[in-house]
Each structure stands twice: as C-alpha cells, then as structure tokens.
Amino acid sequence: MQDTPPFQVESLVSEPGAVRLVMTGELDFSAADEASAAVDKALAEDLRLLELDLSGLKFIDSSGMAVMMNAYMGAGERGAGFRIVALTPYLRHLIEVVALDDVLGLPD
C-alpha cells in the first residue's frame, strides 16, 4: 500500500488584497472541515480575490468538490473574485466531467 501525504492547507498573500490557499494531499471527507475552516478564515479577511492552488492534491472526493464550490460562492457573496491558479490533469478532468469547468474558470 502506498503512503499518501496528509492533507495540508497553507494560506499565502499572493498580492495585496489576495489570499492564495495552497492545498496538498487528499481533499476528502476527513479533510473537508480543515479545508472549509481555511476558506472561511480567508473570506473573513478584507480581500478582493481568493485563489486556490490545487496542484498538490492527489485525490479529491465530493466533499472536496463541495469545499471548492463553497469557496467560489463565498467569494461571490462577499464581492471578491475567485480563481483556481493551478491544478493537476486529474483534477482538471474531474472538474470537466462534473461540468464545473465553466463555472470555476480553470487556468489554461
């Protein structure tokens, strides 16, 4: 059995007024509360842009997809922008399969 790194989320200020959440590991049911708390903390700040860097995620389930959608909706409710700045081919494919690529605006 292969060991998987534990889920981690790091909050960075990518530019003034912007917070980037860098997520690594597996964003599944067991990590969703931690990820949601990081999103909520970022949204509680006076920000104009919330960015997600998902390039370090090895796996995501429906709980993780809900975290992404809640981040998107939460940013919109606060008048802030939202963007995914990096993701894996696996995650891009998954987002496209569930038809959220147009909603979330994936990077090229």
Asked if the structure places residue 75 within a domain, the reply is yes
The answer to the question of residue 1 being in a domain is: no
Domain count, the chain: 1
Q: What is the pLDDT of residue 45?
A: 87
Q: Could you state, in chain order, the average pLDDT of each consecutive group of 10 residues for the chain (108 residues)?
A: 80 91 96 97 93 95 95 96 94 92 86
Is residue 3 a part of any domain in this protein? no
What does pTM read for this prediction?
Answer: 0.92
Contact assessment for residue 22 and residue 29, using Cβ atoms and an 8 Å cutoff: no
CA–CA separation, 19 and 8 (whole Å): 16
Give the pLDDT of residue 1. Answer: 46
CATH number at residue 26: 3.30.750.24
Host domain of residue 58 = 8-104
Whether the CB-CB separation of 84 and 72 falls below 8 Å is answered with: no
2, part of any domain: no
